[in-house]
Amino acid sequence: MNARVLIAALLLPATTIAANADHRVQVGQGGIARWAEMDARECGFLGKRYPAVEGDCYYPVDYELKTGVHEIALYDRDGRQHLGAMTVERTEFPEVEITLPDDTYIELSPENSERHAQERARVLKALKVDADLYPRFTLPLHKPVNPLPKSENDFASRRIFNGTHNSVHSGRDAPVGMGTALDAVADGTVILAEDQFFTGKAVYIDHGGGLVSMFFHLSELSVATGDQIKRGQSVGKVGSTGRSTGPHMHLGVRWLNARVDPYLLLADPNELPSVADSAAVEQAKIRQAQNAEPAETDQD
């Protein structure tokens, strides 16, 4: 076989791999899967196409997303689509009992009920961020406090207030003292900053790429709706406003509208479940083969 024929033969698998769904990853509900080392430009998941983060694709899995196999896509720098299969496994979230001093946050008065309805509408509207916006963040995100204390294992926990009322905790609580300044996890735009019935003084920040971070129960807000902020900039101070049993940091994130564990974004992204490295290695080999000039080596 001469060198040219051999190179042509080596190139054949490229198209096969691009069309095949043999890139696989497993992730739990509330987790994030990653597809790295292929110089991605865009990613696709659940019918959405959105920008990659520094050449890597991330697939945020809402804590209520249906278990089973979901298709994922990666678009490389040449616009080629690569398909993969992500298996979402069931996560068992804890159940926590919480005692509140009275029924204010359990049996809502008509006024509070109306107030909450209006606030909820504003939050839902604010959360409709443009996922096509170029990401203004890198991973890991900036830690809101340094050092970052361990949080309770309370993400997506079912909370039972005073033995009856139920709700799901969509963020994480960590023991951080009253008045401690909380830093923005990345550059962004403040999409909502106000004092709300349940969440107390709350701030929601759009970081582009479909990522929103939020802090609740602050004692003080130091930003206003519409502000442009920088990574590491203080956005407010720890408090215990709204439905809270004491001062703490509540951090939550939504990414492409999925409620995921925020602590996953504060850790090294290499720790996230990833599409097998062998695929990336394979891809690197294909690139090498494409860039190679007819083999002057000993292939003849």
Residue the block writes with tokens 């709350």: 202
Looking at beta carbons only, is 174 or 192 nearer to Zn ion? 174
Near Zn ion in 210-249, by CB under 5 A: none
Count CB-CB contacts under 10 A for residue 77. 11
User: Binding to Zn ion (CB under 5 A): which residues in 243-272?
Assistant: 250
The minimum distance between CB 38 and Zn ion, in angstroms, equals 36
Interface with Zn ion (CB under 5 A), residue total 2
Q: Using CA atoms, how far apart are residues 39 and 77, in angstroms rounded to an integer? A: 6
Helices and strands per DSSP (H, E), number in the chain: 3, 19
Whole-number minimum distance, CB 199 to Zn ion, in Å?
A: 9
Helix (H) or strand (E) holding 40, with range, is strand 40-45
**Residue 236: phi, psi to the nearest 5?**
170, -175
User: Considering beta carbons, is residue 250 or 259 the nearer one to Zn ion?
Assistant: 250
- Distance of closest approach, residue 230 Cβ to Zn ion, in angstroms: 25
Site map (CB under 5 A) of Zn ion, residues 147-186, x = contact: --------------------------x-------------
x-or-dash pattern for Zn ion, window 104-143, by CB under 5 A? Answer: ----------------------------------------
Q: Which is nearer to Zn ion, 23 or 201 (CB)?
A: 201
Q: What is the 3-state secondary structure (H, E, C) of 175-235?
A: CCCCCCEEECCCCEEEEEEEEECCCEEEEEEECCCCEEEEEEEEEEECCCCCCEECCCCEE
State the residue number with the nearest CB to Zn ion.
250
Is the CB of 35 or the CB of 255 nearer to Zn ion?
A: 255
Nearest approach, Cβ of residue 249 and Zn ion (Å)? 8
Q: Which of 156, 147, 176, 115 is nearest to 253 (CA)?
A: 156
Q: Biggest alpha carbon distance in the chain?
A: 85
Q: Which is nearer to Zn ion, 45 or 215 (CB)?
A: 215
Residue 173 C-beta: closest distance to Zn ion, Å? 4
CB of 228 to Zn ion, least distance (A): 26
CB 208 within 8 A of CB 151: no
Q: Judged by CB, which is closer to Zn ion: 127, or 276?
A: 127
Token pair for 108: 């809502």
Summarize as ranges the residues that interact with Zn ion (CB under 5 A).
173, 250
